[in-house]
Structure 1
Amino acid sequence: MTSLTSPTSGANRPARLGVQIAPQHAPYEKIRDTLTEVEALGADIAFNWDHFFPLSGDPDGLHFESWTMLAAWAEQTTTIQLGALVNCNSYRNADLQADMARTIDHISGGRFIFGTGAGWFERDYDEYGYEFGTPGSRLNALDDSLNRIEARWGKINPPPVHDIPVLIGGGGEKKTLRIVAQHADIWHSFGDPQVLEHKLGVLGEWCDKVGRDMSEIEISTELKTRTVEQADQLYDLGARLFTLGVSGPAYDLAPATDWLAWRDSKNA
């Protein structure tokens, strides 16, 4: 594993930790209290996700909607950044997404991250009446929507408080990484160090093709069941945003405390 080398210039960025508070299997009061704890611990970002039903556990268990929750989080917090990991582009008109993002950016005082993706959870589509389409059609729609969203941010009055960072999740090499190269400030990746090393090479090729400096893109990755050794390897490849998921009903934050100490050791 020591042969892995970083193709990015992430070395100039600090390591950051985002905690994804899954909006499932808990009353909202517990979610709200967990967010307070996450901010007090010193996490950099609080994420939720954009689905209508639980992704694990009881499929018909308690669950809450993403965007309305993020607006409440923006009022509740003072320092932590916030966003969805990730928004589903299919569920809302592109210009509406831009307006919602701009509004939450104002509520939060410029702490909003626009995390987005093409969508994949078929039950959401079926039960809420959206056309599921194909992976290709959903990615084409995401590409079109990002152009519209960026254009709307340039027209809307008042404009966003800051240049809202765009986070895009996914690793498809023919479409997704091209969209990342064109639009993303943060790329949320999946996979082990070997996979990340390969995907970074593909992303670099797309950045060259579209005329983008790859160093402008922050590399994000999930911790999940990673060991410290694996996290170190991902860091050495240029990953700087590390995300950890917690779910109701308990929202165990002990792992977050450990990973925050690891983050701080990287930034010392």
Structure 2
Amino acid sequence: MSKDAETPDPHALRTELRSLVSGVDLIVLVLAVGVGVCGVFTTFADAAGDGSGGNFAFIAPGLYSGWCMLEMAWKRAASIGHVLLRLLTACFIAPAFVAIPIGVAQAIAVAFPGVRRTIEDAAVQNGGFHYWWSEGVVAQLFLVPLAGYMIGMCIPLGVVLIVVMPVLSIRAPQIAAWGSHLERVDGGARRWATAFVFVGLGATTLGIGLWLFGDGGSILEFPDGVADSLEALSYGAFSMEVLWPLGVVLVVAGVLSMICGCIPVIAARARA
């Protein structure tokens, strides 16, 4: 690594924040805010909660923060510090760039009597209950941006584990391995060991997600789960439930991959 790459940039945070609101990132930001605001507008008359549009008000911050983290998979990074800085800004700052405008737009909208009357009329037609606004206007004004911000904080963590670090471990293994025991491994073995560790970590993380969100069972239920999933897919029925056996496979493959990657590290430490 060059001396220039190791020298800390005193303006790194300022440069990073500027990059979040320029170029393609700015386009994604505007689109995310637009999607989130449209999601808010769909909730006014949807007292039964039948539509899915309102969910976009909550996931829009995550769409933008996830994109900000995802682009590190192909952007040039001089060191792991650049990746960590982007992880921090993607988790804590990027979601606010979307959640705050959505909250402001929501507050402006409900300030109009006609909007509040639409919410009240929809609730009356639904037996006095409104799926989105039952907690009251004031509570909803805080709930939507806060929940969106919290979801937006979590998405980059999944992206960096499942996509960014596995890609970097192949494209730039010296960055992925920086500061870890993988640096003890010599030559070409370090490249494949780094790839095995981080690709395995990504597969395991994705597998756990599919396993949990797919409402999967235990390992003992795996054969029946595979049969049920194949039967459901043969009838064209697709849902997260049919993916949990795939999650099990990814977890097992990911753990085996990480073990293979750790073997050269253990050998290198034993020789030291």
Using the size of structure 1 for normalisation, the TM-score is 0.28
Q: Which has the higher helix share?
A: 2
Q: Which has the higher strand share?
A: 1
Using the size of structure 2 for normalisation, the TM-score is 0.27
- The higher relative CO (CA closer than 8 Å, separation ≥ 6) is in 1
